Amino acid sequence: MQQIRSQVTERDGLFELEAGSDVLDSPRYNHDMAPTKVRERTWNKWHITALWVGMAICVPTYTLGGVLTAYFGLSVGEALLAILFANIIVLIPLTLNAFPGTKYGIPFPVLLRSSFGILGSNIPCLIRALVACGWFGIQTMFGGLAIHLFLGSVFEGWKSLGGTGEVIGFMVFWVLNLWVVIRGAESIKWLETLSAPLLVLVGVGLLVWAMPNVSMTELLAIPPKRPEGASVVSYFAAGLTAMVGFWATLSLNIPDFSRYAKSQKDQIVGQIIGLPLTMFLFASLGVVMTAASVKLVGVTVSDPVTLIGHIQSPVWVALAMALIIIATLSTNTAANIVSPTNDFQNIAPKVINRTKAVLLTGLVGLVLMGHELLKKLGLIVSDLSLETVYSNWLLGYSSLLGPIAGIMVVDYFLIKKQQLDLAGLYRDDVYPAWNWFGFIAFGVPVVLTLLSLGSDAFSWFYSYGWFTGSALGGLIYYGLSAMRPSPTAVKSAV
């Protein structure tokens, strides 16, 4: 006989929901969005570390040093320091927002129901989902190019396909990504665990290949591309904000993964080990490889896929491309598909299951890359480059996501005191449909950011968008919520 009311039990600090008909029949619940059982929380610190190694070692990370030197006016040394500091900084919201995921086993959209409301959570979810779909398309483009070069190294005639071959590679890689995520969290876990050591090996191999062709002393001595005598502070701060923006997305939806962690210690230690050092070392490798590319292949090449494509040995090209395909797959599935899959389900859990949400994610990513795919097929001509699009995103979208991160941290730790009504997050009778405090705290920093674009005096508000947005969003949310404490703060956490 099915129980009518849901029960919440606690084991060693981890909470578990025994869903009754009140939750099972709710339009806010489906199996994929349900809290994980304690027995399903199997990721230890090394699995979390492997997750971050698998996500951080990717083509965009490799190009970060070049983005900071070319677009943000930093020297090589300053760029690498900005990357290291940014990833230490972003560990703070990543770790804090992971706490409720581990404690309650809930994904990001369900956690947002506490701070934005049961229905209101869909707004920040869709903002996050759109960004992820864009990155999914960009990473799939890199993966498709790797497949194209791999096939070109194995089959001589494939090279003649040119852009058409890249589009075919894109579609093959697109299908492969969706297949992995549809198979579930365990598939992602084992993909990350198996790929992490391979990716480290690729990095070491590329470094050994490049080092004889580059002087680190000369590289670090290259002057920055900013006005002579200009203060480094504003340029460094803007670059730091952009680098924080690189993982601003995951600092929101980290509960999508921490809900599978064995303990809070595992998620904390795994993230500390896995993120900052991996990002710093692989971005450093990108700087070294780009500098060495002139001597290696005769031209300056800023991405590893194209660089390896210049190698004359088909065997080495095929091997390297196979590993890059694995690297991009491990990044794309975890960083760019899991989140929008959960976000789209949150709209209507009874209608949209995981498979439908994955396909929807793939479709949106395909549409967003339509312009680039049509260019490769020769159907349109355009000067808009993929590199320009993604470098501009880094600063722009971090300004939008910063307030959400601040609101989430303040809501869970200061307003709700780490106590959530687990069953109530899946019903309509505990938390409000729309929490307007969350929307005011989100809207004010966003509006100020947009206004600052047209003002020289307040341009710093945009340049430091993630920091200003997260701090102001959190402060406004705390001020509004403190005036009217939520009755659900401690209602039935146990």
* Closest of 416, 385, 225, 246 to residue 302, by C-alpha: 385
Tell me, yes or no, whether 408 lies in a domain.
no
Tell me, yes or no, whether 84 lies in a domain.
yes
- Helices and strands in the chain: count of H runs, count of E runs: 23, 2
Evaluate whether 442 touches 473 at the Cβ level (below 8 Å).
yes
Domain of 69, CATH number, reads: 1.10.4160.10
- Report, as an integer, the average pLDDT of 109-124: 97
Tell me, yes or no, whether 94 lies in a domain.
yes
Q: How many residues does the chain have?
A: 494
Placement of tokens 């791999």 in the chain: 150
| Least trusted range by pLDDT, from 9-13, 30-34, 225-229, 480-484 | 225-229
CA gap 281, 284 in Å, rounded:
5
For residue 230, pLDDT over 90 is answered with: no
393 pLDDT tier (thresholds 50, 70, 90)? low
434 pLDDT tier (thresholds 50, 70, 90)? very high
CA gap 213, 308 in Å, rounded:
15
CA gap 109, 100 in Å, rounded:
12
The letter for the amino acid at 381 is V
290 pLDDT tier (thresholds 50, 70, 90)? confident
| Least trusted range by pLDDT, from 52-61, 168-177, 202-211, 250-259 | 202-211
Instruction: Report the number of distinct structural domains present in the chain.
Output: 1
492 pLDDT tier (thresholds 50, 70, 90)? very low
Percent of the chain with pLDDT over 90: 44
122 pLDDT tier (thresholds 50, 70, 90)? very high
Evaluate whether 20 touches 11 at the Cβ level (below 8 Å).
no
CA gap 104, 119 in Å, rounded:
20
- Name the token pair of 87: 């990833």
User: Measuring CA to CA, how many Å separate 227 from each of 83, 231, 320, 322?
Assistant: 22, 9, 39, 42
- Report, as an integer, the average pLDDT of 298-319: 75
pTM of the entire predicted model:
0.86
194 pLDDT tier (thresholds 50, 70, 90)? confident
28 pLDDT tier (thresholds 50, 70, 90)? very high
396 pLDDT tier (thresholds 50, 70, 90)? low
* Closest of 109, 89, 95, 121 to residue 442, by C-alpha: 121
pLDDT per position as a tens digit, 236-253: 888 888 788 788 888 999
* Closest of 195, 442, 178 to residue 323, by C-alpha: 195
For residue 262, pLDDT over 60 is answered with: yes
Query: What per-residue string of b and e applies to 162-196 under the rule 16 or more CB within 10 Å gives b?
Result: eeebbbbbbebbbebbbebbbeebeebbebbbebb
| Least trusted range by pLDDT, from 157-161, 350-354, 398-402, 443-447 | 398-402
Tell me, yes or no, whether 253 lies in a domain.
yes
- Name the token pair of 363: 């479709």
* Closest of 388, 112, 387 to residue 254, by C-alpha: 112
Placement of tokens 């570390």 in the chain: 49
For residue 174, pLDDT over 80 is answered with: yes
Query: What is residue 11's three-state secondary structure?
Result: strand
The more confident residue out of 95 and 451 is 95
Tell me, yes or no, whether 6 lies in a domain.
no
CA gap 165, 386 in Å, rounded:
18
CA gap 357, 337 in Å, rounded:
9
- Report, as an integer, the average pLDDT of 135-146: 88
Tell me, yes or no, whether 173 lies in a domain.
yes
490 pLDDT tier (thresholds 50, 70, 90)? very low
Placement of tokens 């780490």 in the chain: 418
CA gap 287, 314 in Å, rounded:
25
- For residue 104, the model assigns a pLDDT of 97
Evaluate whether 80 touches 283 at the Cβ level (below 8 Å).
yes
For residue 436, pLDDT over 50 is answered with: yes
- Name the token pair of 138: 């960009």
Range of the domain at 57: 42-378
Q: Determine which helix (DSSP H) or strand (DSSP E) holds 16, and give its type and residue range.
A: strand 14-18
116 pLDDT tier (thresholds 50, 70, 90)? very high
Interior angle at CA 353, CA 350 and CA 354, nearest 5? 155
pLDDT averaged over every residue in the chain: 86
Sign for the pseudo-dihedral over CA of 400, 406, 411, 413: positive
- For residue 246, the model assigns a pLDDT of 80
Percent of the chain with pLDDT over 70: 94
Rg (CA), the chain: 23
Q: Determine which helix (DSSP H) or strand (DSSP E) holds 8, and give its type and residue range.
A: strand 7-11
CA gap 79, 361 in Å, rounded:
33
- Name the token pair of 387: 């590199």
Tell me, yes or no, whether 368 lies in a domain.
yes
- For residue 464, the model assigns a pLDDT of 74
Tell me, yes or no, whether 35 lies in a domain.
no
**What number of other Cβ atoms are within 10 A of residue 43's Cβ?**
27
Evaluate whether 181 touches 338 at the Cβ level (below 8 Å).
yes
Evaluate whether 431 touches 488 at the Cβ level (below 8 Å).
yes
- Which residues touch 297 (CB under 8 Å, ≥6 apart)? 307, 310, 311
For residue 75, pLDDT over 90 is answered with: no
